[in-house]
Amino acid sequence: MKAKASEKKPEDVEAKKEIAEEDVSNVKIEAEKEVVSAVPIEVEELIKAMPVKREVEGWVPKTETGKKVKNGEIKDIEEILDMGITIMEPEIIDMLMPELSSELLLVGQSKGKFGGGQRRVFKQTQKKTKEGNKPKFSTIAVIGNKNGIVGMGFGKAKETVPAREKAFRNSKLNVIKIRRGCGSWQCGCKNPHSIPFEVEGKEGSVIMILKPAPKGKGLCIQSECKKILEMAGIKDVWSKTRGNTASRSNLLMACFNALKKLMEVKTGPDHKESLGIAEGMIKNEQ
């Protein structure tokens, strides 16, 4: 008798669970399930291929710097960056940097079995509420001229397209100038193909160390960080990471923070020659 009772009990519990689940799953949640499912690859490709918004003609500047850019008083982006002014309007970048490349980085992961989800542009998160699951999409955009100037931005919204727009807008407001050079003891060619010295960037638990590499070595780094360095115009680098590098956004931010450090280190005129340091854009490069 006892054995029979114990057999029955789990069934009862399961039955109860089913009932409970049925109670929760009302019409609203079923309707939202479609939104929750991952963005189809075709849609993602379309969103990726959309041109980055540039509103130069109808722009009415609101900040002092913006007015100067519109008047033509400031013609070089490096002037703004050297003065340490925060860029408040993305149109400044649109106007001063017409030849800008941009890309969305793969920060998300589609749902897949055995932990092998494909890396995707949009990272999806959900908030559980009484009304059901509220999904949000976030992404990271990188822009640059492949010649010493690079920007990175994070965007998050309820839909994919606004998230992308926000990311590009933020990347334009977050533009930095970098230093290039040849700090590799194996090379010593004095050309700005790599970085002049070792730098370290941190975000969360992730630490990214970038080291100068000899000419022709290429970018020995994780594939998404590679895109940032390509945008910045660095051709050869060695890297090392520590911490939870699986959290993509932290890894990318750590990489960007390392690039920021390139301008923070003080260098003398002797270093400039021996390491072949070039700051920002190289104008004579052809």
Task: List contacts with Zn ion (CB under 5 A).
Answer: 182, 187, 189, 215
| 171 or 184: CB nearest Zn ion | 184
| Tokens linked to 154 | 């994070």
Minimum CB–partner distance for residue 263 and Zn ion (Å)? 20
| 104 or 237: CB nearest Zn ion | 237
**Cα angle at 133 between 131 and 135, to 5 degrees?**
130
The span from the CA of 55 to the CA of 58, in Å, is 6
First to last CA, the chain: 90
Query: Which one, of 56, 170, 61, 60, lies nearest residue 105 by Cα?
Result: 170
Query: Does residue 246 contact residue 198 with C-beta atoms inside 8 Å?
Result: no
Minimum CB–partner distance for residue 181 and Zn ion (Å)? 8
| 139 or 194: CB nearest Zn ion | 194
Minimum CB–partner distance for residue 271 and Zn ion (Å)? 15
| 189 or 265: CB nearest Zn ion | 189
The span from the CA of 118 to the CA of 107, in Å, is 10
Q: C-alpha distances in angstroms, 199 versus 41, 117, 191, 261?
A: 36, 32, 18, 6
Residues in the chain: 286
Minimum CB–partner distance for residue 106 and Zn ion (Å)? 30
User: Which helix H or strand E contains 150, and what residues bound it?
Assistant: strand 149-157
| 182 or 199: CB nearest Zn ion | 182
Minimum CB–partner distance for residue 235 and Zn ion (Å)? 10
Residue 161 backbone dihedrals phi, psi, to 5 degrees? -65, -45
Q: C-alpha distances in angstroms, 51 versus 78, 93, 100, 101, 144?
A: 25, 15, 11, 10, 15
Enumerate the β-bridge partners of residue 209.
200, 240
| 114 or 185: CB nearest Zn ion | 185
Minimum CB–partner distance for residue 236 and Zn ion (Å)? 7
